[in-house]
Amino acid sequence: MPHTIVEEPYRTMVLVAQCLGLRISEVMALQWSDFDFANLTVRVQRGIVHGRVDVVKTEYSNDDLPLDSNLCAILQHWKQQCPVSPNGWVFPNPTTLKPYWQESICADHIKPAAVKAGLRTNIGWHTFRHTYRSWLDSTGAPIAMQRELMRHASIETTMTVYAQAMMSDAKRQANSKVVRMALRPVLSTKAKSGTSVKAPPLNAPFSSLAGGPQSTASV
């Protein structure tokens, strides 16, 4: 399977979607102030669709997520290149300084890269969220922890009464296992070359992502 390269900033968008399991509306609405790099957390607070910013889908969606140190390094590397915008968007269009439209990026960059990589033609942004859920399951993460990392209102009715968990080691370990699955080619390249984690190579193969089955759900 060919290793198709996704250029920046789309590469980092894909890695954030895959490594955190965020909805693409949430990825596009991230601001640098949402990240606490010192404590390795990120708070998901808003989404953006067709240029309109709104609060996240449910109260369960608004939550702190663990930030793996490898993904943290990639984000800090991107921050050094990121265009400065008035609202501090993580992924601003350099022309408008407003977030990109997710549909055009998918059509112009994600789907063509997937086709070149020999993946299915129906790859879309939600593929990465669905893959995150599949990989969480493969790590053996308990269903209650999966619900919290996915920020679902419920997987079943009894899950809705769970209190928001602390940023426990178990949550971090479950998330980090998924990040290492997503970043395996990047980490392998760094190990062989001896490059610093603070300057990750920009040639992560697209074919290593979107590894799970496609879902058409929007949760």
143 domain residue, yes or no: yes
- Which runs of E-coded beta strand occur in the chain? 35-36, 41-44, 46-49, 52-55, 63-66
List CB contacts of 58: < 8 A, sequence separation 6 or more: 151, 153
Please, what's the largest Cα pairwise distance for the chain?
Answer: 49
> What own/partner pairs with CB < 8 Å and gap ≥ 24 does 31-36 have?
31/87, 31/88, 31/89, 31/90, 32/79, 32/82, 32/88, 32/89, 32/90, 33/88, 34/90, 35/67, 35/75, 36/67
In the block, residue with structure tokens 């679902």: 152
142 domain residue, yes or no: yes
Q: Phi first, then psi: give them for residue 60, nearest 5 degrees.
A: -75, -25
pLDDT at position 211 is 58
pLDDT at position 109 is 92
pLDDT at position 62 is 63
108 domain residue, yes or no: no
pLDDT at position 25 is 94
Beta carbons of 70 and 183 less than 8 angstroms apart = yes
Distance from C-alpha of 219 to C-alpha of 214, rounded to nearest angstrom: 13
5 domain residue, yes or no: no
Nearest CA among 179, 162, 158, 161 for reference residue 65: 179
* Number of domains forming the structure of the chain: 1
Beta bridge partners, 53, equal: 48
pLDDT for 127 beyond 80: yes
The per-residue pLDDT of the chain, averaged, comes to 80
pLDDT band at 189 (very low <50, low <70, confident <90, very high): low
- Residue pLDDT, tens place only, 63-90: 789 999 999 999 999 999 999 999 999 9
pLDDT for 161 beyond 90: no
* Domain range for 161: 13-101+122-183
pLDDT at position 192 is 66
Beta carbons of 149 and 41 less than 8 angstroms apart = no
- Residue pLDDT, tens place only, 167-181: 667 788 889 999 988
Model-wide pTM > 0.85: no
30 domain residue, yes or no: yes
In the block, residue with structure tokens 């240029």: 51
83 domain residue, yes or no: yes
pLDDT at position 47 is 92
Residue 173 sits in a domain of what CATH number? 1.10.443.10
178 domain residue, yes or no: yes
115 domain residue, yes or no: no
Which of helix, strand or coil describes residue 215? Answer: coil
β-strands 35-36, 46-49 pairing: unpaired
pLDDT at position 118 is 82
List CB contacts of 96: < 8 A, sequence separation 6 or more: none
